[in-house]
Amino acid sequence: MREISIPISDEIIRSLHVGDPVELSGIMMTGRDAVHKWMIETFVKKTRQPTDNDSQVYEEIKKYLDGGVLYHCGPVVSGLDTKQYRFVAAGPTTSIREEPYQADVMKHFHIKGVIGKGGMGAKTLQGCAETPGIYFHAIGGAATFLAQTVQKVLGVYKLEEFGVPEAMWVIEVRKFPVVVTMDSHGQSKHSLLEESSRKVLDDLLARPY
């Protein structure tokens, strides 16, 4: 198991390959559908005018995302009334929902790692090669275990606007376990599995009955 600290350099990103198990430590940020849509419309394609709050949040999150990691996660969080936030559950969200946005978000913010489950498509794989970056696969069904790696909640953005699952939570993690399933060299474990599964299905369908 390779231990990697966030922020991550391009050199380390290029040294990682599909199948490598990794433990991540450092500061990362969560972001799902609402976050990606907001980023694209407001700052990448600029199809909507940013508010003063948007611009302030943008400047704040840039420092976490430059060389950083974005986690597709809708956490369960305690302490909402007292703002003594603690992650109770922190399982990965299915990542393919962010496929229309992910590559552009990675390039714009210089994000080095994306964490989720289920993998992503060709556009994101190309983005991993160009940024460069990595798609890390997290363990589905282990939300409570993964929450235990969260040492501290450092802040949250767009909580009132997006709600708890969709807000941008800034967290400090220690030894967060993931596996590289899409690398910066154009390799994707997910596309290989899809191809092999399709071959098995085609063989089954071709059998006479």
Residue 36 among the catalytic residues: yes
Look at residues 100, 79, 80, 77 and name the one whose alpha carbon lies nearest to residue 88.
77
Confidence (pLDDT) at 204? 46
Per-residue pLDDT of the chain (209 residues; tens, 9 = 90+): 899 999 999 999 999 999 999 999 999 999 999 999 999 999 999 999 999 999 999 999 999 999 999 999 999 999 999 999 999 999 999 999 999 999 999 999 999 999 999 999 999 999 999 999 999 999 989 999 999 999 999 999 999 999 999 999 999 999 999 999 999 999 998 654 455 444 544 454 566 66
120, amino acid identity: M
172-197 CB burial, b ≥16 within 10 A, e <16: ebeebbbbbbbbbeebbbbbeeeeee
- pTM value is 0.91
Domain map (residue ranges) of the chain: 2-206
User: Which tokens go with 167?
Assistant: 């807000």
Confidence (pLDDT) at 209? 63
Report domain 2-206's class.
alpha beta
Q: Which of 36, 72, 137, 190 is catalytic?
A: 36
Confidence (pLDDT) at 201? 40
| 3-state SS track over the chain | CEEEECCCCHHHHHHCCCCCEEEEEEEEEECCHHHHHHHHHHHHCCCCCCCHHHHHHHHHHHHHHCCCEEECECCEEECCCCCCCEEEECCECEHHHHCCCHHHHHHHHCCCEEEEECCCCHHHHHHHHHCCCEEEECCCCCHHHHHCCEEEEEEEECHHHHCCCCCEEEEEEEEEEEEEEECCCCCEHHHHHHHHHHHHHHHHHHCCC
Rounded CA separation 150/172 (Å): 6
Confidence (pLDDT) at 146? 97
Helices 52-65 & 102-109, crossing angle to 10 degrees?
Answer: 80
User: Are 77 and 87 in contact, with CB atoms under 8 Å apart?
Assistant: yes
End-to-end CA distance of the chain: 47
Confidence (pLDDT) at 189? 87
Confidence (pLDDT) at 191? 53
